[in-house]
Copies of this chain bind each other. A is one copy, B any other.
Amino acid sequence: MKGAMEKVREIWREGRRVGKEDPRRIVHAFKVGLALALVSSFYYYQPLYDNFGVNAMWAVMTVVVVFEFSVGATLGKGINRAVATLVAGGLGVGAHHLASLSGPTIEPILLAIFVFVQAALSTFVRFFPRVKARYDYGILIFILTFSLISVSGFREDEILDLAHKRLSTVIMGGVSCVLISIFICPVWAGQDLHSLLASNFDTLSHFLEEFGEEYFEATHDGDVKEVEKKRRNLQRYKSVLNSKSNEEALANFAKWEPRHGQFRFRHPWKQYLAVAALLRQCAYRIDALNSYINSDFQVPMDIKRKLEEPLRKMSSESGKSMKEASISLKKMRKSSSSDIHVLNSQSACKALSTLLKSGILNDVEPLQMIALTTTISLLIDIVNLTEKISEAFLELESAARFKNKKKSTVSSEKSGTVSTARAIQIKSHDDDHHVVTILCDDDISTTVEQSRGENSVDSCHHVAIKIDDDDSVHEKHEDGEIHVHASCVSYGQTNASDILDSGNERNSSN
């Protein structure tokens, strides 16, 4: 008896947890209850019952099977079911008619063959990946309806009546599901995917912004609870590692959804998946980094300190770029300064390579060197990925038609960075997309001549150039500076390169 009480209490706790995790679940349960109660009582009353007979139960069945958590999933199943019922009904009647022409002895054999062929073919088609993703349920219903109708054993006029009644009850059930799911506290899969991506950006940026603090903090004295909490917060990125199947399901559902809120019918959900995949790759690197923070074997602080500035900057600027993306997603406005953060992180990358070249680590022990350089290499990876993420995100922004934020001069908003930066975009004359972004320290006010061919940038600390040009082949520097995995800053060599010969850190000309 006591055990049973314990069990009930445990279930209750689990229920509270599940409800707290996403309160919309409770609302969803009520919505399903409401839809079922409505449809049931609708059919309980005699006039309708007489009209539809036992077919009324198809409405109940449709509600139970079709009503899903999000609008997209419900719509997808509903449309699948309605279309499949219609098509299979037609074919089933046809098969029945064909069989009945052949006389009473061959009829059952013919019907069995029809059912067999239809079921085998449809079942096989369900293995096609593209079909499985979107139409699995429809094909299931197709098999079901076709089999039921073709072997029902009714006469043809009865069958037509049956098919008509069944279709209308299915549609009634489906429509009430869809209406309730759209108009009572709707759960949009698209909105969920959008928020999930934003929150993934958020958690990764949180880690990257805090990484410097964690890595270069000598010891954790102070409140143990505080440290625990911080560390737990840092570990939130782990949810990103396994978000793939969730994202794909949401994107699949979202494709069924009509225009809602700020999302159009053909919102670029695919691009969401592309960005999310890159973010996940970044999360793998972060997972590895995290193991270095928590590792028992620590590189002595005095060695770490030598590289503190560029390493801190690489991680925090990457983090800021992701933060920008997250804000941009939440507001559905184009981000303005995320580019700058990418460039900042890349310039920190360059500074790091200069530092390393200067032989600052020559007297470090090999085993410490391994731990240190692995951290470095992971951070370089993350900087490279941040660039890719930023590019993919720009595509997303324009494909999703985020609102523009017109600003040609922006300063990075965080007060944490010492130097604020300015970015100027120079659009070249022709159709090719030459976007030259020049990044200067702000404390020295320089004027940038934007005319083509001459461009005097006097005291820029670093000039980072990115040129998108589909015609010219991108060549890479041969100095291998920071090209550990991929190039950290990749210069493109194009026919517009004549405007770029000033810039005191471009140390090699092609």
A40's partner among B18, B151, B482 (CB-CB below 8 A) is B151
* Number of A residues with CB within 8 Å of any CB on chain B: 90
A129 to B17, CA, bound (A): 11
A91: min CB distance to chain B, Å? 15
CB distance from A360 to the nearest CB of B (A): 8
Question: For residue A481, which residues in chain B have a CB less than 8 angstroms away from its CB?
Answer: 367
A29 contacts the other chain (CB 8 A): yes
Known A-B contacts A117-B33, A144-B61; the reply to A40 vs B124 at CB < 8 A is no
Quick one: which of B127, B356, B371 contacts A25, CB cutoff 8 A? B127
- Whether A33 touches B116, Cβ cut-off 8 Å, given contacts A18-B128, A111-B44, is yes
Q: Which residue of B lies closest to A125 (CB)?
A: B15
The yes or no answer to A37 lying at the interface (CB within 8 A) is yes
Docked-complex contact B64 and A140, CB < 8 angstroms: yes
Answer whether residue A399 sits at the interface, using C-beta atoms and an 8 A cutoff.
Answer: no
Q: How far is the CA of A422 from the CA of B207 in the complex (A)?
A: 47
Counting chain B CB atoms within 10 Å of each CB, which of A37, A57, A244 scores highest? A37
Chain B contacts for A127, CB-based, 8 A: 18, 25
Q: Counting CB contacts under 8 A, is A235 at the interface?
A: no
Instruction: List residues of chain B with CB within 8 A of the CB of A480.
Output: 297, 367
How far is A296 from B64 in the complex, measured between Cα atoms in Å?
Answer: 56
How many angstroms between the C-alpha atoms of A45 and B45 in the bound complex? 34
Interface string of A115-133 (1 = CB under 8 A from B): 1111111011101110000
Q: Quick one: which of A74-115 are within 8 Å of B by CB?
A: 108, 111-113, 115
Is A33 a contact partner of B123 (Cβ separation < 8 A)?
yes
Quote the shortest CB–CB distance from A284 to chain B (angstroms). Answer: 6
Q: Does A373 contact B (CB under 8 A)?
A: yes
Instruction: State A125–B291 Cα separation when bound (angstroms).
Output: 37
Besides the known contacts A33-B116, A369-B369, 17 further A-B residue pairs in the complex with CB atoms under 8 A apart: A18-B128, A26-B124, A28-B123, A33-B123, A37-B112, A37-B113, A37-B119, A49-B153, A245-B245, A284-B287, A292-B485, A295-B486, A357-B365, A367-B484, A370-B484, A374-B378, A374-B484
Q: Which A residues form the contact surface with B (CB < 8 A)?
A: 14-15, 18-19, 25-26, 28-30, 32-34, 36-37, 40-41, 43-45, 49, 54, 57, 60-61, 64-65, 108, 111-113, 115-121, 123-125, 127-129, 140, 143-144, 147-148, 150-153, 242, 244-245, 284, 287-288, 291-292, 295-297, 353, 356-357, 359, 361-362, 365-367, 369-371, 373-374, 376-378, 380, 476, 480-487
